[in-house]
């Protein structure tokens, strides 16, 4: 009787083992019935917003004199910008930064022996944001005319932006999805299969580079601001189930 029970138990164990093995192969087979592809889309576009800025400053022994000179420069700069067609709401002046100056003296060993106060330095920046790109580009080239008015303005190069990035990204994602599906259908068709449905889709990094410029892509996403003409690229990794 004991032998009979043992034999039955062994048979049950073998059957259970075969079932588990079969299920594992079945699961492995199911997971193998997928295909992973990466779709890509890109689009050239022109920036619709330009930002230009610069900084200026004044030095004086008293804070009052330095501030008065700086505010006079601010008024002159604003009048100049308005004369170039920049409208008031496009002009932004920053708060004033202040630092104290000292005339330092050192001994023969390079050690500081005294620091006499010599006045104040005040600095301020100006920023122009406009959708009239050509007008601001011209301004950035002609701004050195302020040197004739004894204003030492350090001009930055213009930066270019696009205000419809969300719409652009959605359009690129749709095209990347279509590209991924086309790639998957081609691969599946060549192997005698067809696409059954979507398993998962993961968006890659959104890159914006200067058009026709040799720029490296960044792991976190490139965002070019120095070029007016740009190229946007997006990738989409997609897993499909196969029939």
Q: Mean pLDDT of residues grouped by 10 in the chain (243 residues)?
A: 49 46 42 84 97 97 97 97 96 97 90 92 98 96 92 95 96 96 92 88 93 79 94 95 88
Domain 51-158, classified CATH 3.30.70.2970, yes or no:
yes
- pLDDT score at 212: 86
Other CB atoms within a 10 A radius of the CB of residue 182 amount to: 12
Quote the pTM value. Answer: 0.79
pLDDT score recorded for residue 166? 94
Cα–Cα distance, 158 to 136 (Å, whole number): 8
Give the pLDDT score at 47. Answer: 98
Question: Looking at the domain that runs over 33-46+164-242, which CATH code has it been given?
Answer: 3.30.110.170
Query: CB 157: neighbour CB atoms within 10 A?
Result: 9
Q: Which pLDDT score is estimated for 25? A: 38
Chain-centre distance for alpha carbon 154: 26
Tell me the helix, strand and coil percentages in the chain, rounded to 5.
40, 35, 25
């Amino acid at each position: 009787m004991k032998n009979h029970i043992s034999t039955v138990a062994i048979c049950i164990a073998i059957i259970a083992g075969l079932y588990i093995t079969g299920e594992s192969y079945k699961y492995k087979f199911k997971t193998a019935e997928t295909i992973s592809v990466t779709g890509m889309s890109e689009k050239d576009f022109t920036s619709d917003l330009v930002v230009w800025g610069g900084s200026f400053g004044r030095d004086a022994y008293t804070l009052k004199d330095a501030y008065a000179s700086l505010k006079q420069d601010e008024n002159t700069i604003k009048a100049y910008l308005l004369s170039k067609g920049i409208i008031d709401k496009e002009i932004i002046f920053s708060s004033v930064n202040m630092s104290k100056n000292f005339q330092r003296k050192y001994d023969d060993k390079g050690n500081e022996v005294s620091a006499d106060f010599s006045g104040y330095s005040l600095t301020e920046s100006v920023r122009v944001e406009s959708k009239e790109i050509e007008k601001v580009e011209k301004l950035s080239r002609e701004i050195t005319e302020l040197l004739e008015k004894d204003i030492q303005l350090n001009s930055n190069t213009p930066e270019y932006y696009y205000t419809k990035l969300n719409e652009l990204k959605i359009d690129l994602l749709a095209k990347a999805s279509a590209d991924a599906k086309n790639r998957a259908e081609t691969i599946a068709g060549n192997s005698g299969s067809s696409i059954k449905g979507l398993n998962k889709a993961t968006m890659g990094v959104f890159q914006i580079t200067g058009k026709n410029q040799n720029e490296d892509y960044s792991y976190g996403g490139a965002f070019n601001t120095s070029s007016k003409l740009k190229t946007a690229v997006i990738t989409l990794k997609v897993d499909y189930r196969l029939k």
